[in-house]
A and B are shown apart, each in its own frame.
Chain A
Amino acid sequence: MWAVIGCGLGMITGVLPGFGPAAATGLLLPFAFVLPPAASIVMLACIYYGSMYGGTITSVLLNVPGEASSVATCIDGYAMTKRGMAGKALAISAVGSFIAGVIAVFGLIFSQKIAAFAISFTYLDVFGFSLLALTLVVGLTGDSMIKGLISACLGLFIGMVGLDIYTGGPRFTMGLDQLQEGLPFIAIIMGIFGLSEILESIGGKKQPDYSGNIGSTLLKWQDFKDSIGSILRGTGIGFFFGLLPGSPAAASSFAAYTVEKRVSKTPEKFGKGAIQGVAGPESANNALGISNFIPLLALGIPSSATMAILLAAFTINGLTPGPLLFTNNPEIAWGLIASLALANVILLVMALPLVRMWVSILKIPTMILYTITLSFMSIGAYVIDGSMFSVLVLWIAGIVGFTLRRFGVPMAPAALTIVLGPMLEKSFRTALQVNYGEFSSLFSSSRANIAYGLIVVVLATKMISSIRKSNKVRKMKSSEAISGSK
């Protein structure tokens, strides 16, 4: 029963834009305190699970990411909505998340062995993989590499604002106290994606109306066949990223998206409503959400803010996560794993029938829907830090995003680099500190070197395909010129 209530509460809170799993878990923690330890842990795990799916709903239907990791879903999820396939997008999210969850929960059984592997990642390794994740941005730049890279640089810069933890000094804070803790990422992401899209639609001559073409909410067998590869690949990517300490969830969903685009036989479909563009990132998200538990359960180390809150819940309930949890409190450890498996099923059972209800939101006249969305986004932004500052950031980001989009600057690269930037800098500077400031040590880790090698491959592939495209264009132009002169 507590699993069902947890999933329901999580889904409801996750729907509020800007209210991610960490906020939902933290807010609902007191509800769990009144329960016995086992039930409280189960409920919290399910809240966490449910809130991840709640974020997907707003991403697909409104292009408003519920949290940073939902941004990749927005790209093709919202495009599917525009094509009248919102129901399919939500359904494949639920199914993909379920399959990823089943596989990832199975991985939890081997927590201790996997945790030993996870802890072996050094700051240098994390730097290498962060840099590799950064190169994924080339897959998101769209038609104009220059504008795409501008977007990426802007995103990287946003992560630099705040206090420098190494020297304690402020950077780009303009003397404002609110900026000392950095810019609220989720407000910016909501702004550049959701708000800018809404402003563009409100200003457009013709407002979109998706109500007439909701489409089917059922998945066909062909849809499943088309997506299963993406789901499995996304699961692997998300599971791996979830083990890396401090790894932002958004990195795994973008990684899954970019991999899908690369391996697809029809990459031009991506960005226009490719079902794989939803299945991959959503599966990655869910797998990451579960593999995040491994460092917590096996070593007592929280690998994300949500896990840290769960650690607090464990501790206050008199439980000590770590190597002895499976020995001293096996009923808690295995109970948690079982409850995650159960939550997986419950979420699928709850989500699929509700798809029709969620999709019916699109029947609301567009301007009314926008009014409601703008109100919810303001609430969601306010909740981030309890002040109008985040709401202001939301609107400034929205205006900047709107302006840049009108001139063809894509926002997806910025959404990726906003979350990657801090991780990249921290891992770089800490890796150097660990290695006494020797820059040559950047090449001393075999894993990092593998990551550097993959970076070269990714960039080279992109460059070759750009050159080929330019050559094609040149040939076309010259043949047009010839046929024109005849």
Chain B
Amino acid sequence: MQTTNDAPSKFLNGNRITAFVLLLVSGNLLNFSLRYGLFLEDGAPGPGLFPALITGPLVGLCIAWLIIGDRGVPKLENESNEIDDLTAEIEAKLDEIQEIDSDGKKRIGWVFFWTIIMFATFERLGSIISLSIYATGLLFSISNIKSWKAIPSTLLMILLVTFGAIKIGVTLPDPFNLFRIFGGQ
């Protein structure tokens, strides 16, 4: 049997930065909680009591995380821990936090870009046009598949579901009345 530990890393790592940001946020929230008042005039719990009971320990936990940093919890490697039909490869796949390389960052960047476009157009141009732009943009940016068949069929699926949703009464923006033009109510 063996134990595993992560290799020592630099002091200012992602864990500590995240913990610090969370500490600032939770400290601020604790401050607000105290200002709302822990108790009312008649002694009943005030609006700030529960939030303080939550944000107080949260501040403590963030400090603990800040101290621990990215030191992992030692794991026990034990054969009996392997699931019956899982190979080590699959188990690793289930457990791994994937590394994000520069291509990955670009893909995520594209997702955010097209999402911002979607935000800007969803109510102005309507759900149908906006989602068509969104889906097409994403497919071109992040997908390896540029087949002329794949993109229309993906769009068709999204559009059909949008129509179906509107048909059963879900209210989605449609400023140009495209739904009616294409045979809706």
Classify A-B as touching or not with yes or no (CB < 8 A). yes
Contact surface of A with B, Cβ cutoff 8 Å = 9, 12-13, 16, 27-28, 30, 79, 82-83, 143-144, 146-147, 149-150, 153-154, 156-157, 160, 164, 166-167, 169, 171-172, 199-206, 208, 266, 268-269, 272-273, 365, 367-368, 370-372, 374-376, 378-379, 382-383, 386, 388, 391-392, 395, 403-408, 421, 424-425, 428-429, 432-433, 437, 469, 472-473, 476-477, 480
Closest chain-B Cβ to A67's Cβ sits at a distance in Å of 16
- Say whether B81 faces chain A, with CB atoms less than 8 Å apart: yes
Chain A facing B: main interface SS:
helix
Q: Which residues on the B side are within 8 Å of A208 (C-beta)?
A: 93
**Residue from B36, B127, B165 having most chain A Cβ neighbours under 10 A:** B165
CA distance A300 to B127 in the complex (A): 40
- Say whether B9 faces chain A, with CB atoms less than 8 Å apart: no
- Of the A-B pairs whose beta carbons lie under 8 Å apart in the complex, a sample of 6, sorted by A's number, is A154-B58, A157-B51, A200-B98, A203-B105, A383-B171, A432-B44
- Are A368 and B145 interface neighbours, CB within 8 A? yes
* Contact for B108 among A12, A203, A376, A378, CB less than 8 A: A203
Contact with A along B32-49 (1 / 0, CB 8 A): 100010001011111110
- Say whether B142 faces chain A, with CB atoms less than 8 Å apart: yes
- From known contacts A12-B164, A432-B44, infer whether A150 and B61 are also in contact, taking CB-CB under 8 Å: yes
Contact surface of B with A, Cβ cutoff 8 Å = 1-3, 14-15, 18, 22, 26, 29, 32, 36, 40, 42-48, 50-51, 54-55, 57-58, 61-62, 64-65, 68, 70, 72-76, 81, 83, 86, 90-91, 93-94, 97-101, 103-105, 107-108, 111, 115, 118-119, 122-123, 127, 131, 134-135, 138-139, 142-145, 150, 154, 157-158, 161-162, 164-165, 168-172
- Are B98 and A156 interface neighbours, CB within 8 A? no
CA distance A386 to B123 in the complex (A): 10
- Are B98 and A383 interface neighbours, CB within 8 A? no
19 more CB-based (< 8 A) A-B contacts, given A83-B90, A167-B46, A205-B99:
A83-B94, A157-B58, A160-B50, A203-B105, A204-B98, A205-B98, A266-B83, A272-B94, A367-B139, A370-B138, A372-B154, A375-B131, A376-B161, A378-B122, A382-B172, A388-B122, A432-B45, A473-B76, A480-B3
Interchain residue pairs A-B with the least CB separation, the first 5: A204-B98, A367-B143, A203-B104, A153-B58, A203-B100
- Are A368 and B139 interface neighbours, CB within 8 A? yes
- Are B134 and A375 interface neighbours, CB within 8 A? yes
Closest to A392 in B: B119
**Residue from B18, B54, B108, B157 having most chain A Cβ neighbours under 10 A:** B54
- From known contacts A199-B108, A203-B107, A388-B122, infer whether A367 and B135 are also in contact, taking CB-CB under 8 Å: no
Closest to A269 in B: B83
Chain B facing A: main interface SS:
helix
- Are A379 and B142 interface neighbours, CB within 8 A? no
Closest chain-A Cβ to B18's Cβ sits at a distance in Å of 5
- Are A367 and B61 interface neighbours, CB within 8 A? no
- Are A16 and B165 interface neighbours, CB within 8 A? yes
CA distance A156 to B104 in the complex (A): 33
Q: Which residues on the A side are within 8 Å of B57 (C-beta)?
A: 149, 153
CA distance A480 to B54 in the complex (A): 41
- Are B61 and A149 interface neighbours, CB within 8 A? yes
* Contact for A205 among B104, B123, B171, CB less than 8 A: B104
Q: Which residues on the B side are within 8 Å of A388 (C-beta)?
A: 119, 122-123
- From known contacts A153-B58, A172-B32, infer whether A365 and B145 are also in contact, taking CB-CB under 8 Å: yes
- Are B150 and A437 interface neighbours, CB within 8 A? no
- Are A368 and B143 interface neighbours, CB within 8 A? yes
Q: Which residues on the B side are within 8 Å of A480 (C-beta)?
A: 2-3
Q: Which residues on the B side are within 8 Å of A368 (C-beta)?
A: 139, 143, 145, 150, 154
Closest to A149 in B: B61
- From known contacts A169-B36, A200-B98, infer whether A160 and B54 are also in contact, taking CB-CB under 8 Å: yes
**Residue from B76, B127, B134, B154 having most chain A Cβ neighbours under 10 A:** B154
CA distance A332 to B93 in the complex (A): 52
